[in-house]
Amino acid sequence: MKKFKIAIDANQDLLKFKNLGEERRKAIERGSTTHVNASSFTNNLVEMIHPKGIKVEVVQIIEETEDTKSFYLKPVKLESMPPFLPGQYVTLTVTINGKTYKRPYSISNFLKSLEMYRITVKKEKNGMVSTYLFNECEVGETFNLLGPFGHFTYQPLRDGKDVVFLAGGSGITPFMAFLQNQAFLEKIHSLTLLYGAKSEFDLIFKKEIDEICSKNKKIQVIYVLSEQKRSDYAYGFIDEEKILQIGFENKTFFVSGPLKMYFSLNEIFKKLDIPNKFIRHEIFREVPEDLVEQNFQLTIKMKDKTLTIPCNEKETLIQSMEKGRVKTLVHCTVGECGFCRSKLLAGTVKTEDSCVRASDKEAHYIHPCVSYPLSDVIIEIPL
């Protein structure tokens, strides 16, 4: 009897499948032909979750360390900030002396109410935007934000329940949103945070981290100081010995910090045979060390316009365009979204290969936001 029922069910499924095309055609014919109103519920919802841009006001500034400040950003028109996942970032648009710059910053808090985002900025040597934010930005100033963007997120179906966060310097910022997110903490079994900085005075959010840890037994934190020896802190760098101490079997690693740390940890992961599927990265991009101060010409072809501006080996093509007041098509600024995708018509660039699709590479497409000129360069921006 049971077999008979299974046979009937299977035949009905086949019949449904056979009629699928016809059913779909009828459903389409039944559908409305009038356009969805721009202010419909669905469109409003999409605009709330994925706004094209958000105007925000700086409502509070906190000096975290000697060279790091946090900025609390509240929406000017929206009731709340768009939802995001811990680990994601936003792109901040900053205008300095009439020139517009876009820079990515991790969201370093997680408020259930989404009332405001916090971004945390480290003052970089020669960093135009970070220096401006650090020295000149005041409460009340407004900016435009794009995003949230990014894939540096915890996915329960993909990632394990025993998690290790490896943070270097200001690489701690995305982890603060994880630590404040109850939903994430409930999903995991254990969390070990190894946080490296030069000295105890360079540890951003130490008080906040200690407070969170004291309330949640799942979290263990180890501070690692590279330029200060103290009995209550680990000394040196986040290295193989420290990873062996905390154990790595069946753990999922999240790495956030400078490029140097990323390379040295990659070597350790390889040596310990930790498969790539257990490693997530958030790299804080820096100018590659082998590049030198050298000036070239950048020619940009757009539709029927051609422009030539100066560029420098130590600046990405997008940075040169920002300086040259060329309107840029930029979202993430870290090579992820493909929004700035352009064709390299002549010249050579040093670029982040991993960001460009294989088919794009063959067709000589690059992402100018992560490409540095090594000669005079001509690019074409498809509009």
Footprint of ligand FES on this chain (CB under 6 A)? 330-333, 335-340, 367, 369
Which positions ≥6 away from 300 have C-beta within 8 Å?
306, 307, 308, 309, 321, 326, 378, 379, 380, 381
Given a contact cutoff of 8 angstroms between Cβ atoms, the answer to whether 226 and 253 are in contact is no
Find the shortest distance in angstroms from Cβ 150 to ligand FES. Answer: 11
Q: Look-up: residue for tokens 């020896």?
A: 229
Looking at beta carbons only, is 106 or 333 nearer to ligand FES? 333
Find the shortest distance in angstroms from Cβ 174 to ligand FES. Answer: 18
- Residue 81's CB: how many other CB atoms inside 10 A? 23
The SS3 call for residue 66 is: coil
Looking at beta carbons only, is 179 or 369 nearer to ligand FES? 369
Which positions ≥6 away from 247 have C-beta within 8 Å?
none
Find the shortest distance in angstroms from Cβ 102 to ligand FES. Answer: 8
- Residue 17's CB: how many other CB atoms inside 10 A? 9
Find the shortest distance in angstroms from Cβ 240 to ligand FES. Answer: 33
Looking at beta carbons only, is 116 or 330 nearer to ligand FES? 330
Find the shortest distance in angstroms from Cβ 288 to ligand FES. Answer: 17
| The token pair that represents 312 in the structure block | 């420098």
Looking at beta carbons only, is 119 or 330 nearer to ligand FES? 330
The DSSP bridge pattern shows strands 142-149 and 54-65 to be antiparallel
Find the shortest distance in angstroms from Cβ 322 to ligand FES. Answer: 12
The SS3 call for residue 226 is: coil
Which positions ≥6 away from 146 have C-beta within 8 Å?
53, 54, 90, 91, 93, 102, 331
Looking at beta carbons only, is 58 or 146 nearer to ligand FES? 146
Looking at beta carbons only, is 194 or 317 nearer to ligand FES? 317
Question: b/e for 192-231, b at 16 or more Cβ within 10 A?
Answer: bbbbbbeeeebbbbbeebeebbeeeeebebebbbbeeeee
Looking at beta carbons only, is 104 or 174 nearer to ligand FES? 104
Find the shortest distance in angstroms from Cβ 373 to ligand FES. Answer: 16
